[in-house]
């Protein structure tokens, strides 16, 4: 070889190092015999690539022994080789230490050859930080030297910050990371450092810092942290009421971003979603087994939030196969919840039968599975056991009693239901849903005393929730509906209409009031009422609140418009509105029923077959 071709050896070694930096699943090369005769086209794994890169680095040094950059790259090769060997094998301690010693000596050689280059000082400090060498004082000196030699050096500042975290000096670490951010705002390492520092100190900006980090570049250490923070925030109703958290989750598309980075994280360790959902080999994730299980669990949770239940089911099933015994019960309960969403109650019962230690959540999920299977007595008994043994606070007890009251109404009648609901109403203040249930029971069975009692309590609750706009709005709308239904049950249509009109005068832009008035007008079978109802529902859509149920409300409103148009004898427009509702929600029974209502009896027999098929489809949809 000639010195003229020295660069080719170094470039080829650098190319190999780039492949080594890829995830293990992708980190391999087929080497032709022209390049390396002894391999003769063999497929080389990551460990073998380390040795091949060394061979080319040494060939370069044979031609130019004073090339400080090659010495520095060779030191990095030895260090990364040692780290990977230590991760993959538990019995290679001697080899690991030998590789680290060589890396340390080679890094010193690079510094000796070119002490004015910050990269060499940074590499020496990085190697000295390794747990087997543990020369932290030297590492600190090297990083400071790298900073003094190379101005605006984000990498060295970040490494120094990590070193201060190891020392436990959070203030100095924060200052070092801040200097790194000033030096290079796009360097992700400094943002990662600040993110974990904020998490350690429970800072409010931790969610924003992690989001910015994952948006800058992929870093495995950030993926789980950010996704976990997103899930924790969404599961905390108090936080989700605050503007800053609501903005960080909803406006910044946190759920979609978290899902993407979790999939990237799993692909980093060899799991290919499109290839086989059901298998995962821990070979590529040695030392991170718990992290991978956590990633699959988070993926399942995020896909539940997105209502992608089949994907969530598969993620939970993989997590279940890989997890330790101590985590099995929680994953089993999550899997059962998804199976209930997928209308698989029998599978949910089978899943829950493997739960070792019963909890409040597992008992409630089991009761729901029994209910979906039509096993009401088993469901009631499960709720009873949960009430006696598993409830941790009064709120949980109240929720259980309300569920038991619902079941009691189904197969024991209103008397037992009243007894259970009165247990809830004895609490101060009485639970909201218990009041709703008791009021509805009073209306259905003509119990004026019970109805008036609960309506008065609901009026008090409206006053107590003045500060909470969403809760106040929800109680007001439900109270209006119950008052309206109470007057209808008394066959006093004039009073029912006045209840709605009075509420509309107090709050003219309330969409729910307009919707209720439209519903009342559709009971009057005349064209004028239909047209007014259509106008009211259109304004209801315009003032509809941005909330989780907006999609369902919109479908319901389209169904109401279809009925209003049908009452106005505009069958074509009614059919179009029903089709729009179906397009929005293909599984909506209301939308399909509205389309069926537009059937024209004068249509030919061929069209009648279509309507009969549609009627059968709706009946099957109701069973689901």
Give the position of tokens 């929680």: 330
Is the model more confident about 69 or about 463?
69
For residue 266 the two structure tokens come to 């799993």
Say whether 505 sits in a helix, a strand or coil: helix
77-81, 270-274, 560-564: least confidently modelled range? 270-274
CA nearest 403: which of 425, 445, 355, 371?
371
User: Looking up tokens 């009075």, which residue turns up?
Assistant: 502
Can you give the pTM of this predicted structure? 0.84
pLDDT at 341: 93
Instruction: Look at residue 275 in the predicted model and tell me its pLDDT.
Output: 47
Q: What is the pLDDT of residues 182-227, one digit of tens each?
A: 999 999 999 999 999 999 988 889 999 999 999 999 998 899 999 9
pLDDT of residue 368: 95
Distances (CA, A) of 127 to 81, 122, 580: 12, 9, 64
Question: For 50-97, what is the HEC assignment?
Answer: HHHHHHHHHHHHHHCCCCHHHHHHHHHHHHHHHHHHHHHCCCCHHHHH
Name the band, by pLDDT with cuts 50, 70 and 90, for residue 550: confident
pLDDT in tens, 265-276: 988 877 766 544
- pLDDT tops 50 at residue 529: yes
Domains of the chain: 508-623 (1.25.40.10)
Angle between helices 511-521 and 527-542 (to 10 degrees): 160
Lowest mean pLDDT of 367-371, 437-441, 523-527, 567-571, name the range: 523-527
- 124: nearest Cα among 110, 132, 116: 110
Which of the listed ranges 77-91, 99-113, 527-541 does the model predict with the highest average pLDDT? 99-113
**Measured distance CA(238)–CA(474) in Å, rounded:** 17
The mean pLDDT of 553-563, rounded to a whole number, is 90
**Exposed e or buried b for every residue in 466-505, given b needs 16+ CB within 10 A?**
eeeeebbbbbbbbbbbbbbbbbbbeeeeeebbebbeebbe
Residues 262, 298: contact at Cβ < 8 Å? yes
Confidence of residue 280 (pLDDT cuts 50, 70, 90): low
pLDDT tier at 537, thresholds 50, 70, 90: very high
Non-local (6+) Cβ contacts of 61 within 8 A are 67, 70, 71, 74
The predicted structure's pLDDT at residue 1: 45
Q: Residue 462 pLDDT > 90, yes or no?
A: no
Does residue 562 register a pLDDT over 90? yes
Average pLDDT in the 161-172 region?
94
Q: What is the mean pLDDT of the chain?
A: 89
For the chain, percent of residues with pLDDT exceeding 90:
63
Reported as a pLDDT band with limits 50, 70 and 90, residue 279 is: low
Which H, E and C letters describe 96-161, residue by residue?
A: HHHHHHHHHHHHHHHHHHCCCCHHHHHHHHHHHCCCCCCCHHHHHHHHHHHHHHCCCCHHHHHHHH
Q: How confident is the model at residue 281 (pLDDT cuts 50, 70, 90)?
A: low
Give the residue from 163, 114, 112 showing the smallest Cα distance to 135: 163
The model's confidence at residue 173, banded by pLDDT at 50, 70 and 90, is: very high
Average pLDDT (228-233) is 95
Q: Which helix (H) or strand (E) element contains residue 544?
A: none
User: Which of the four pLDDT bands, split at 50, 70 and 90, describes residue 548?
Assistant: low
Mean pLDDT across 30-38: 79
Average pLDDT over residues 333-357: 95
Say whether the peptide bond before residue 187 is cis (omega within 30 degrees of 0).
no
SS3 per residue for 322-366: HCCHHHHHHHHHHHHHHHHHCCCHHHHHHHHCCCCCCCHHHHHHH
Question: Is the CB of residue 271 less than 8 Å from the CB of residue 293?
Answer: no
Q: Which residue has the tokens 């259109």?
A: 538
């Amino acid at each position: 070889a000639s010195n003229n071709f020295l660069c080719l050896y170094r470039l080829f070694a650098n190319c190999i190092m780039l492949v080594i930096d890829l995830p293990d699943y992708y980190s391999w090369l087929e080497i032709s015999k022209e390049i390396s005769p002894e391999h003769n086209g063999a497929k080389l794994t990551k460990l073998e690539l380390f040795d091949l890169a060394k061979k080319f680095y040494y060939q370069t040094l044979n031609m130019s022994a004073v090339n400080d950059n090659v010495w520095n790259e060779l030191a990095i090769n030895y260090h990364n080789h040692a780290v990977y060997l230590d991760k993959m094998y538990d019995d290679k301690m001697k080899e690991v230490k030998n590789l680290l010693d060589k890396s340390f000596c080679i890094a010193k050689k690079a510094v000796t050859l070119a002490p004015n280059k910050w990269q060499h000082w940074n590499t020496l400090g990085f190697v000295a930080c390794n747990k087997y060498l543990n020369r932290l004082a030297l590492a600190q000196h090297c990083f400071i030297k790298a900073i003094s030699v190379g101005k605006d050096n984000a990498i060295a500042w970040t490494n120094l910050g990590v070193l201060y975290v190891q020392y436990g000096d959070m203030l100095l670490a924060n200052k070092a990371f801040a200097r790194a951010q000033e030096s290079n705002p796009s360097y992700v390492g400094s943002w990662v450092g600040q993110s974990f520092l904020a998490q350690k100190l429970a800072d409010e900006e931790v969610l924003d810092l992690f989001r910015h980090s994952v948006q800058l570049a992929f870093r495995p250490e950030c993926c789980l942290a950010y996704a976990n923070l997103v899930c924790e925030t969404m599961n905390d109703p108090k936080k989700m009421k605050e503007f800053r958290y609501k903005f960080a989750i909803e406006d910044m598309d946190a759920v979609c971003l978290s899902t993407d980075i979790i999939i990237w994280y799993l692909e980093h360790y060899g799991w290919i979603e499109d290839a086989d959902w059901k298998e995962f080999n821990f070979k590529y994730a040695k030392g991170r087994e718990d992290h991978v299980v956590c990633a699959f669990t988070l993926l399942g949770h995020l896909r539940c939030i997105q209502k992608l239940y089949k994907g969530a089911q598969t993620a939970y099933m993989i997590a279940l196969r890989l997890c330790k015994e101590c985590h099995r019960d929680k994953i089993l309960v999550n899997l059962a919840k998804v199976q209930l969403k997928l209308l698989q109650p029998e599978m949910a019962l089978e899943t829950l039968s493997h739960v070792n230690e019963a909890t409040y959540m597992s008992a409630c999920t089991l009761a729901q599975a029994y209910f979906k299977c039509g096993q009401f007595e088993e469901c009631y008994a499960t709720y009873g056991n949960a009430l006696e043994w598993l409830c941790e606070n009064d709120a949980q007890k109240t929720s259980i009693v309300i569920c038991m009251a619902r079941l009691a109404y189904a197969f024991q009648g209103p008397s037992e239901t009243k007894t259970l609901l009165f247990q809830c109403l004895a609490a101060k203040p009485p639970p909201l849903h218990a009041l709703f249930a008791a009021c509805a029971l009073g209306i259905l069975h003509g119990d004026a005393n019970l109805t008036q009692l609960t309506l008065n309590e609901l009026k008090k609750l409206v006053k107590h929730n003045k500060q909470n706009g969403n809760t106040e709005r929800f109680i007001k709308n439900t109270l209006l509906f119950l008052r309206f239904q109470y007057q209808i049950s008394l066959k006093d249509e004039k009073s029912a209409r006045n209840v709605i009109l009075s509420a509309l005068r107090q709050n003219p832009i309330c969409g729910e009031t307009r919707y209720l008035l439209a519903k009342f007008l559709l009971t009057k079978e005349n064209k004028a009422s239909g047209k007014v109802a259509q106008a009211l529902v259109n304004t209801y859509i315009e003032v509809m609140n941005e909330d989780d149920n907006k999609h369902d409300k919109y479908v319901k409103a389209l169904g109401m418009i279809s009925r209003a148009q049908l009452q106005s004898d505009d069958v074509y427009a009614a059919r179009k509105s029903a089709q729009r509702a179906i397009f929005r929600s293909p599984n909506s029974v209301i939308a399909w029923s509205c389309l069926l209502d537009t059937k024209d009896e004068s249509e030919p027999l061929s069209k009648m077959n279509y309507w009969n098929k549609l009627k059968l489809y709706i009946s099957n949809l109701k069973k689901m």
